[in-house]
Structure 1
Amino acid sequence: MSQELVQLMPLILIGVVFYFLLIRPQQKKVKEHRAMIEAVRRGDNIVTSGGILGKVIKVREDNIVQVEIAPEVRIDVVKSTISEVRGKTEPADTTSAPKADGEKSSGGLSGLFKKK
């Protein structure tokens, strides 16, 4: 009986190593991906597994997300194909720092032709 146990010990050890080095990390990764997909909200920037970048416009109940990939171009994407959520979009900073002479930029070419 002990001889059989000694012969099975390497197989048991290999099974334990496979569990901790391969199976458990993969299960953790799948769980994190599932949580990320469930947390997708309107306004998030996402990347699909096909490499399409876009902004979430609408999240529907049937595991479908409407994504705007260009101005006025919207596609429906299955939630499970989302590979990355890049975060919420932030509005551009409209209060820029003053220039060295204390004036703010008015934009365009008007700044080039100002009288000093």
Structure 2
Amino acid sequence: MKDKIKEALKEIVPDVYYGAGRFQGRENWDCIVFGKRRTGKSESKGGITRRYFVAIVKEEYIPEDLEKQVIEKMKTLGFKISDTDTAYDYVQKAGECIVEICTMEFGKTEKRCSR
């Protein structure tokens, strides 16, 4: 699944990283970082739900259409946006500019294996 998510998100922006983006020494911080958040029983108890986070990292601000594009790409892979709030964080890039980070969570339910 990791490779499928990475390839889908690369259709939106070229720089996509799994787990963490390495920002030290980078000229441009614009990228997407994604990874696993948690796994648990589905609401119906008949399967498991895998949750991933997707963080859009953009210098200055994140255009709203970029968030919508990420949601649509994840939907094509069978994910639904979680009912958790989308979080926005801000960091300063070495005195140059503010970087906005938008973190969304997505879930995908899988059937349990029968034994």
Q: TM-score, normalised by structure 2?
A: 0.20
More helix as a share of residues: 1
More strand as a share of residues: 2
Point out which structure has higher relative CO (alpha carbons under 8 A, 6+ apart). 2
Q: TM-score, normalised by structure 1?
A: 0.20
The structure with the larger Rg is 1
